[in-house]
Copies of this chain bind each other. A is one copy, B any other.
Amino acid sequence: MDKKIINQVINIVGPENVLTDNEERICYSYDGTFKRGIPDIVVFPGNTQEVVSIIKLANSEKIPVFPRGAGTGLSGGSIPQANGIALVMTKMNKIKEINENDLLAVVEPGVITGHLHQEVEKLNLFYPPDPASLKTCTMGGNIAENAGGPRAFKYGVTRDYVLGLEVVTPTGKVMRTGGRTVKNVTGYDLTRLLTGSEGTLGVITEITVRLIPKPKYKKTALVIFDNLDDAAKTVTVVISEGVIPATLELMDRITIACVEKNTKLGLPLDAEAILLMEVDGSDAQTTEEINIIQNICKKNNCRRIEVASTFEEREKLWKARRAVSSAIVQLKPTKISEDATVPRSKIPEMIRRLREIATKYNLNLPVFGHAGDGNLHPNIIADKSDKEEMERVEKAVSEIFEAALELGGTLSGEHGVGIMKKPYLEWELGEVGLEYLKTIKKAVDPNNILNPGKIF
């Protein structure tokens, strides 16, 4: 990058907020995928005005800008490219307001999601979205990718909690969308157009989210099934009985084997599925709901059911689920984490298709995830240094997407498109849909400054 421009950037944010050394730039070249891209320069803005100045400079000089939070994304959405600016939002990390009466919080984009959880829960409030990376990921990244998590089944995803945004547009203007009320139909829903737009339509500089009262009680059931279809049927019946668990997680046989190998929790290696179901709410409600769940599991041929009410008991049941991510990467070092999502009734069929794909390409493919909303996480565990294997991975991924779409599902339930799913986007959106997206992008960002090369 031109030395003159680097000096202009330093003038805007100060030398302490600019990195140009190779070793330092490498630290901002990654995300949660195996893709890499080293930016020319790394910039940490401290406030909205600095973001405006950076974007104006980039727009006039036609320099691409790659906004990023903690870099935990699973689709390559924040991976920089050469000759661009990595705009790291982590220094804008203040919780500006938690309002108990209006049930909302106002935060800067660099606030860590788990930190917001802690602060609002001290006031008996609740911010439901809980992506697996919540201890490190940022709110800005959560909005940009429309993050989900296990609690999404009952409580919805990030989109359902964003009330308003402050955004710096691709031409460097400050825009406010939405506001402080849940209901708002004034003009197009720019708040939700920006949510999930993967940093391509604006840089998020302030976020207003809706909070809800914290549920007072939780009860948890870990249920073992000999037969996958019985587990899937249990999910359907529980929901049709009107019980919406806060968590409804499924693990398949391979996932169980990986977890057991690493944790020695005593999980049965011959079971086809484990369901982890957690209900929350009032005492009466959770008691009633966990009883209904137990009865349904028994009627649907579960092998064993363990129920927990206390914190300690619950922690024990959650151990297996929490161990999944670290357990499966013991097989091989590279995890390709997909999130193809199908209508709930198609879960058994999808899992069968995934088994076939794993066998066909001789790959490790544990499946776990959010059974309530059909948002499975087929994870291919491979070694990126093994070129031949990675070619098989690529073919398998393509077939996973095909299967999901054939079953009426989607390429991505919560990870986004980024660069990983870009080649497949037209399969789902069609030519007209893709064109409509591009038309919006081109109109809003005529110089293609913001996160170019992502989504399409």
A residues lining the B interface (CB < 8 Å): 99-104, 124, 145-146, 148, 152, 156-157, 159-160, 169, 173-177, 179-190, 192-193, 195-197, 201, 212-216, 236, 239-242, 244, 281-285, 287-289, 341-346, 370, 373-375, 408-417, 421, 425, 428-430, 432-437, 439-440, 442-444, 455-456
User: Which residue of chain B has the shortest Cβ distance to A456 in the bound complex?
Assistant: B187
User: Which residue of chain B has the shortest Cβ distance to A370 in the bound complex?
Assistant: B183
- Using A216-B242, A433-B175 as known contacts, say yes or no to A102 and B187 having CB atoms under 8 A apart: no
Residues of B within 8 A of A429 (CB): 176, 186-187
Residues of B within 8 A of A169 (CB): 432, 436
Of the candidates B281, B370, B412, B416, which one forms a contact with A285 in the assembled complex, judged by CB atoms under 8 Å apart? B281
A103-B239, A146-B189, A174-B432 known, 10 other contacts, Cβ within 8 Å: A101-B345, A179-B408, A183-B375, A184-B413, A187-B417, A187-B437, A190-B433, A242-B281, A281-B285, A439-B443
Residues of B within 8 A of A456 (CB): 187
CA gap between A177 and B417 in the complex, in Å: 15
CA gap between A174 and B346 in the complex, in Å: 27
CA gap between A46 and B232 in the complex, in Å: 39
Task: Determine how close the nearest CB of chain B comes to the CB of A155; give it in whole angstroms.
Answer: 11
Residues of B within 8 A of A375 (CB): 181, 183
Residues of B within 8 A of A241 (CB): 213
Residues of B within 8 A of A439 (CB): 443-444
Of the candidates B188, B195, B343, B413, which one forms a contact with A102 in the assembled complex, judged by CB atoms under 8 Å apart? B343
17 pairs, A vs B, C-beta closer than 8 Å = A99-B343, A100-B240, A146-B185, A146-B189, A148-B183, A181-B410, A184-B412, A185-B413, A186-B428, A187-B429, A187-B455, A188-B201, A188-B437, A213-B241, A281-B285, A284-B287, A440-B444
CA gap between A240 and B182 in the complex, in Å: 16
CA gap between A429 and B164 in the complex, in Å: 11
Residues of B within 8 A of A282 (CB): 242, 285, 288-289
Closest 5 pairs (CB-CB, A-B) = A443-B443, A183-B413, A101-B345, A213-B242, A102-B343
Residues of B within 8 A of A183 (CB): 148, 152, 157, 341, 370, 373-375, 410, 413-414
Task: Determine how close the nearest CB of chain B comes to the CB of A350; give it in whole angstroms.
Answer: 11
Residues of B within 8 A of A345 (CB): 99, 101-102
Q: Is B160 within 8 A of A156, CB to CB?
A: yes
Of the candidates B188, B284, B346, which one forms a contact with A288 in the assembled complex, judged by CB atoms under 8 Å apart? B284
- Using A145-B185, A429-B187, A432-B174 as known contacts, say yes or no to A408 and B344 having CB atoms under 8 A apart: no
Q: Is A373 within 8 A of B181, CB to CB?
A: yes
CA gap between A417 and B190 in the complex, in Å: 15
Q: Is B186 within 8 A of A421, CB to CB?
A: yes
User: Which residue of chain B has the shortest Cβ distance to A424 in the bound complex?
Assistant: B186
Residues of B within 8 A of A410 (CB): 179, 181, 183-184, 186
Give the interface centre of A187, A417, A425 by most chain B CB atoms within 10 Å: A187
Task: Determine how close the nearest CB of chain B comes to the CB of A110; give it in whole angstroms.
Answer: 22
Residues of B within 8 A of A434 (CB): 187
Q: Is A180 within 8 A of B145, CB to CB?
A: no
Residues of B within 8 A of A411 (CB): 186
Q: Is A192 within 8 A of B190, CB to CB?
A: no
- Using A213-B241, A242-B282 as known contacts, say yes or no to A189 and B195 having CB atoms under 8 A apart: yes
Task: Determine how close the nearest CB of chain B comes to the CB of A130; give it in whole angstroms.
Answer: 14
Q: Is A432 within 8 A of B281, CB to CB?
A: no
Residues of B within 8 A of A184 (CB): 341, 410, 412-413
Q: Is A189 within 8 A of B187, CB to CB?
A: no
CA gap between A379 and B244 in the complex, in Å: 38
Task: Determine how close the nearest CB of chain B comes to the CB of A231; give it in whole angstroms.
Answer: 15
Q: Is A159 within 8 A of B189, CB to CB?
A: yes
Q: Is A440 within 8 A of B288, CB to CB?
A: no
Residues of B within 8 A of A193 (CB): 188-189, 192-193
Residues of B within 8 A of A409 (CB): 179-181
CA gap between A416 and B185 in the complex, in Å: 5
Q: Is A213 within 8 A of B240, CB to CB?
A: yes
Task: Determine how close the nearest CB of chain B comes to the CB of A440; give it in whole angstroms.
Answer: 6
Task: Determine how close the nearest CB of chain B comes to the CB of A29; give it in whole angstroms.
Answer: 24
Task: Determine how close the nearest CB of chain B comes to the CB of A99; give it in whole angstroms.
Answer: 8
- Using A175-B436, A373-B182, A436-B175 as known contacts, say yes or no to A102 and B344 having CB atoms under 8 A apart: yes
